[in-house]
Amino acid sequence: MITVGDRQIPNIIYREVDVPNIREFDVYVKNGGYEGLKKALGMTRAAVIQEVKESNLRGRGGAGFPAGVKWSFIPQDNPVNYVTVNADESETGTFKDRQIMENNPHQLIEGALICAYAVKAKAVYIYLRGEFWDVAHALDKHIADARKAGVLGKNSALKDADGNPFTVEVYTHLGAGAYICGEESALLNSLEGKLGQPRVRPPFPAQKGGGLYSEPTVVNNVETLANVPWIISNGAAEYKKIGVGGSSGTKVFCMSGHVKKPGNYELPFGITFRELLYDYAGGPLDGREFKAILPSGGSGPIIRVTDELLDTPLTYEDLQKHNSILGSASVIVMDDTTDIVWVASKVIKFFKHESCGKCTPCREGTYWLDKVLDRILRGEGKPSDVDLIANVANNMKPTTLCALGEFAANPVIWTIKNFPEEFKAWVEGDKKAAALQAGKSAHHSAPKVAALPAAGD
């Protein structure tokens, strides 16, 4: 149970909190597992999709697209459709899907199967980032358990509403170190054994020609699908009672950076930043103050921590008002010891490393931004360099092929916009002078960050 003030809300996603060992098939089944699937199989496909639509379940992978609407795009008369589960989880600061797969894997499998039924898919591919090597192998075992128990695969004991055997297969597929493979069309390319570069759209994955092996395909995030069994079992109306407005249900918040208790917190939409940061994540480290937040990992705009911000409810809608996004809710918290220009440089390095190279502005822009930020951090920057990078980033935004290029522009655009004084210090102020004096340090140019005690096991 999640305690929010005096409310008690069930853990929809992290059920291991309430039910130890729910990762095991028997335990899962004993606690209502696969009932959602069975119920769905008794409904028409259209009814399942309708239920998910009504629940307002929005994609948890970042873009927040309504899941039911996405499913309804799949042509039901196409002979072969696919479901792919996006378990690439590579956004800086995101680590929630891993916990679902490790601790509550059957719920993901069940959700994916319900989706597969609803869109008449032949198979489910779970695309995990390569680094989830151990996670994938454990997941393989859980899939095998479910297969043995007859809930999936060609020998499944289940039948759908028309009395046909329900024989969807579930497979895992490991990536091998590429953030871009979280982008859905790059993911599909990677799964087809091609370079993980995004495809031109249209056609979209849900359309013929655009999905896996050119067949219509649903791509959903792990957390998105893990919500589905609960929605089918308890109904959309119940689900909507959790959360607020257009943001229904719970959301996992990945808390990292300068907080006392980093970790994943499953909470209903609508709690405030203040509650999240202080009540759950334990507040700032001793003697420090919060300074800035990246609410959506490295890719979203950075925001300054103010009282007004702290009182903002965490919903898709409210964050937009702060010129930011909720995205996948990977909340990276920075306190007053953090140098924001260094943050911009760190994040650009990530995107430069992860740019697939397919489109010009992203490939060249990330390289260029990184070069100039390095120069600034060596103390060799000029005031005009700040305008330069702002301009380069702004030129990237409208011209890139996929959203990675836009993500990459954000850290520069928003650090400059929201923390102009920090850049000033580097290009004409005290930091510039200090850096020049220090010269090029042997290993790296980033300012030292005070060593921290590791979070408890």
Partner 1 sequence: MNTLQQKYAERITVTLDKYPDKRSAVMPMLYIAQEEYGHITPEGIAQVAEICDMDPTQVKSIAGFYTMYSEKPKGKYWLQVCVDLPCALRGADEFHHWLLDELGIEEGGTTADGVFTAEHVMCLAACDKAPMLQCNFHFEENLDKDKMRAKLKAWRDEALAAKNGKK
Partner 2 sequence: MAKTVTITIDDKQYEVPAGTNLVDVAKFHANNDIPVFCYHPKMAPVGMCRMCLVEQGAIEKDRASGEVVLDEAGQPKVRWMPKLQTACTQMVADGMVIRTQSEQVKAARENVVEFLLTSHPLDCPICDKGGECPLQNLTMEHGKGGTRMAYEDKQHLDKHVPLGEADSALIFLDEERCIQCARCVRFQDEIVGDDVLAFHERGRRLQIITNSEPHGFDTYFSGNTTDICPVGALTTADFRFGARPWELTEIPSIDPFDAAGSNISLSTRLDRDFGGRAMIKRVMPRQNEEVNEIWISDKVRFGHHFTRSDDRLMTPMARSGGSLSATSWADALSAAASKIKAAGGSVAAIAGSGMSNEDLYALKQLVSAAGGKHLGAWPITHTGADLLAQVGLGKGSNLGTLGKGDAVLVIASDLEEEVPMWRLRLKRAHDRGAYVVVANARKTRMDDFADVVVRYDAGKAAHWLADLKAQNAQVAEKLAGANNLVVVTGSEGLTLDGHRALMQAAANLLIETQHVGKANNGLLSTLPGANGMGLHYLGFSPEQTRDIAKAAPKVLIVAQAELLADDPNAEAWLSKVETVISLSLFPDAVATKYAAVALPIQSFAERDGTFTNGERRVQRFYTAQGPLGEALPAWQALGRLAEAAGLGKAKLSASSVMLEISQTIPAFEGMTYKAISAVTKQFPDVGGNDLYYGGTAYQNRGGLGLVIPTSADKGGAVATGKVSLTDAPKPGSGEFVVIPSTRLYNKESVFKPSVLVHPRIMAPYAEINSADAKKLGIEQGAVVEITAGGATVRVKAHVNGGAPEGSIVLPRHLTDQAVPVAITTGKVSKV
Ligand X SMILES: Cc1cc2nc3c(=O)[nH]c(=O)nc-3n(C[C@H](O)[C@H](O)[C@H](O)COP(=O)(O)O)c2cc1C
Residues that bind partner 1 (CB under 8 A): 89-95, 97-98, 129-134, 171, 173-179, 190-196, 213, 254-258, 262-264, 294, 298, 330, 332-334, 338, 343, 346-347, 350, 353-354, 356, 443-444, 446, 448-452, 454-457
Closer by beta carbon to partner 2, 200 or else 438: 200
Q: Which residues in 215-254 contact ligand X (CB under 6 A)?
A: 219-221, 224
Cα–Cα dist 61/64, whole Å: 7
Binding partner at 388 among ligand X, partner 2, partner 1, none, C-beta below 5 to 8 Å by kind:
partner 2
Cα–Cα dist 68/45, whole Å: 11
**Residue 163 CB, nearest approach to partner 1 (Å):** 27
Binding partner at 368 among partner 2, partner 1, ligand X, none, C-beta below 5 to 8 Å by kind:
partner 2
Closer by beta carbon to partner 1, 70 or else 352: 352
Q: Are 315 and 246 in contact (CB under 8 A)?
A: yes
Closer by beta carbon to partner 2, 16 or else 183: 183
56 binds ligand X (CB under 6 A): no
Q: Using the rule CB under 6 A, which residue among 91, 110, 318, 370 binds ligand X?
A: 91
Closer by beta carbon to partner 2, 197 or else 250: 197
**Residue 426 CB, nearest approach to ligand X (Å):** 28
Binding partner at 182 among partner 2, ligand X, partner 1, none, C-beta below 5 to 8 Å by kind:
ligand X
**Residue 294 CB, nearest approach to partner 1 (Å):** 8
Q: Are 17 and 11 in contact (CB under 8 A)?
A: yes
Cα R_g (the chain), whole angstroms: 23
User: DSSP strand E in 224-289: where?
Assistant: 243-244, 247-248, 250-257, 263-268
Rounded to the nearest 10 degrees, the angle between the axes of helix 45-54 and helix 105-118 is 120
Helices (H), 149-293: 184-191, 222-234, 236-241, 273-274
Binding partner at 72 among ligand X, partner 1, partner 2, none, C-beta below 5 to 8 Å by kind:
none
Closer by beta carbon to ligand X, 109 or else 376: 109
Binding partner at 450 among partner 2, ligand X, partner 1, none, C-beta below 5 to 8 Å by kind:
partner 1
**Residue 369 CB, nearest approach to ligand X (Å):** 16
Closer by beta carbon to ligand X, 83 or else 285: 83
Cα–Cα dist 103/263, whole Å: 15
Q: Which residues bind partner 2 (CB under 8 A)?
A: 178, 195, 200, 352-361, 363-368, 371-372, 375, 388, 395, 398-401
Q: Give 395's Cβ-side CA count (13 Å radius).
A: 14
Among 69, 436, 412, 452, CA closest to 224: 69
Cα–Cα dist 345/411, whole Å: 8
Cα–Cα dist 410/222, whole Å: 25
**Residue 360 CB, nearest approach to partner 2 (Å):** 5
Closer by beta carbon to partner 2, 400 or else 415: 400
Binding partner at 65 among partner 1, partner 2, ligand X, none, C-beta below 5 to 8 Å by kind:
ligand X
Q: What is the dihedral of CA 270, 273, 279, 281, to 10 degrees?
A: 120
- Bond into 301 cis (ω within 30): no
Apex CA 8: angle with CA 7 and CA 11, to 5°? 135
Q: What are the C-alpha distances in Å from 331 to residues 174, 250, 273, 315, 364?
A: 26, 16, 10, 13, 28
> Which residues are at the interface with ligand X (CB under 6 A)?
59-63, 65, 67, 86, 88-91, 180, 182-184, 219-221, 224, 402-404
